Amino acid sequence: MARVEVTVRGGGIFGLAVAWEIARRGAKVRLIEAVRIGAGSSGGVVGALSPHVPESWNEKKAFQLASLLMAESWWAAVEAASGLATGYGRVGRLQPLADAAAVDLACARSLSAGDLWQGRAEWRVVPATGAAWEPVSPSGWLVEDTLSARLHPRLAAAALVAAIRAVDGEVVVGDAVDEGAVVWATGVAGLEALTADLGRPIGGGVKGQALSLAYDAPDLPQLFVDGLHVVPHIDGTVAIGSTSELHWTDLATDAQLDALHAKAIAALPVLASAKLVDRWAGLRPRAKTRAPVLGAWPGRAGHFVANGGFKIGFGMAPKVAEVMADLVLTGQDAIPEGFRL
């Protein structure tokens, strides 16, 4: 058996994506997940790949844009290697506008998107039509963007595992020996380990909850209504998410999901009769900076970190995988300053 050149610790979206990117470049990879694939927030149900608003541009938004633009071909390569569906689809997104001021702001953002999004996607203001799959809009106007996409988290994770194995990578659930360079993509536990090792707060966990309904709308756009994601998936479900809870007593689902459900039906009445399929709760890894934490682990030669996906991990994953593979395999460092330890 070929010598392992890179070990990736963690079977969430960052660990799987980095392992796949390294493996498809020809390096021998071993991914080790202690509990189960998608044991943390990557095992959820939402899978919204959506951009930040096109204004107040910064390196985080530019990095996210690059990742969203490369996502279609990147996930297509995963599907080709694995023979499995990931649930990726660039279906766009609709958002209601509350009043005239919101309409004016959205129109201004439409102009900035024309420059910032490089002509490869649009942010436009369109009239509400009253269609069944359309959020209730007090102003009668909606934002429609063509950059947003969706991904089925659990299908995508299974496809990444199969893709890694298809190019002779190892995926171990349990424990195994680290060999070669080590990439730590261990979510909340990893942020806590960094905090302890470096003696300063790096990040921690934020509880999230989401639910899934039986409603078949695989080709329709995702919706974003008053902080709520409504995401149609290829398996005949619609995901509703999610909460952000800094304080919690346990990681079980609770009555906050009932409030999410009611809020989704108020925004989109067609979901009123949709049967509940699943309820999910878990911890998302959030760095203190709210940006991903990427790069070399200070003071640990040959050790690297890919963490802090929080709410945008799936959307950031292709670009995170690319820059981490460049760094680990060739020493090329293209990590934004704001993402560094």
Pick the closest to residue 12 from 257, 245, 267, 205 (CA basis): 205
Q: Give ∠ CA 47-49-54 in degrees, rounded to 5.
A: 155
Options 3.30.750.24, 3.20.20.150, 2.60.120.620, 3.50.50.60; CATH for 6-92+149-201+288-339 is 3.50.50.60
Pick the closest to residue 327 from 296, 298, 301 (CA basis): 296
Domain boundaries, the chain: 6-92+149-201+288-339, 93-146, 204-287
Which pLDDT score, from 0 to 100, does residue 341 have? 86
**Rounded percentage of the chain residues whose pLDDT exceeds 70:** 100
Which pLDDT score, from 0 to 100, does residue 233 have? 98
CATH class of 204-287: alpha beta
Tokens coding 201: 């707060």
Q: Cα–Cα distances in Å, from 233 out to 39, 90, 150, 206, 277?
A: 21, 11, 8, 25, 13
CA distance 311 to 293: 14
User: pLDDT digits over 65-80, tens only?
Assistant: 999 999 999 999 999 9
Radius of gyration of the chain (CA): 20
Judge whether 283 and 197 are in contact, CB under 8 Å.
no
Which pLDDT score, from 0 to 100, does residue 2 have? 75
Q: Is the pLDDT of residue 98 over 60?
A: yes
Q: Is the pLDDT of residue 312 over 60?
A: yes
> Which alpha helices (H) appear in the chain, and where do they start and end?
13-24, 59-82, 100-116, 153-166, 187-198, 256-267, 313-330
Q: Is the pLDDT of residue 1 over 80?
A: no
User: pLDDT digits over 136-175, tens only?
Assistant: 999 999 999 999 999 999 999 999 999 999 999 999 999 9
Rounded to an integer, the average pLDDT of 302-321 is 97
